[in-house]
Amino acid sequence: MVLDLIFLHFGSDEFNNYIIHLDWRLASDHTPLTIVIPIVEEHIQTKKWMIVKKSEEECTFVKELIEAIKNIETNDIPDINCFNSIILEFVSLLENIWAKNSKIVNITKHSKSWWDINYSRNLENYRVTKHIEDWK
């Protein structure tokens, strides 16, 4: 009597794709088994507009945004259409200030969220000096 016991992943057709090779069995009581495991290439890459925290660009962005908000005329808002117009003006100002001060960053699965401008500065300093102390 030949009994083949296989533990399968319940409810997953992609991991239950197997072939039992009874004709490959030799003197052993083991039957060779092949399982096809799909390997999907993971491609996570996105571009994102961003401003580096505590950077000169962030300070400029905040200053320009505050100035733009101060200059929006809100003394006379007689109706909803006027209010909507003010909101659209604010959105336009915000988008322009953001575009002027932000930059496109390529986000990948290898991106380092902890990397900041100080690390970049230190790495550049090491590349210039080549001193082991600057590497540390």
Domain ranges of the chain: 1-40, 45-135
Collapsed DSSP state (helix, strand, coil) of residue 50: strand
Q: Using one digit for the tens of pLDDT, what is the confidence trace for 79-117?
A: 999 999 999 999 999 999 999 999 988 776 666 666 777
Task: For residue range 117-136, list pLDDT tens digits in order.
Answer: 777 788 888 888 888 887 77
Confidence class of residue 1 from pLDDT cuts 50, 70 and 90? Answer: very low
Tell me the three state secondary structure of residue 125: helix
22-44 in b/e form (b: 16+ CB < 10 A) is eeeeeeeeeeeeeeeeeeeeeee
> pTM value?
0.48
pLDDT of residue 85: 92
β partners of residue 14: none
Tokens of 57: 């660009």
Instruction: Retrieve residue 45's tokens.
Output: 């890459």
Contacts of 45 (CB under 8 A, 6+ apart): 106, 107, 108, 109
Give the integer Cα–Cα distance in Å for 93 and 19: 63
β partners of residue 3: none
Phi, psi of 119 (to 5 degrees): -65, -40
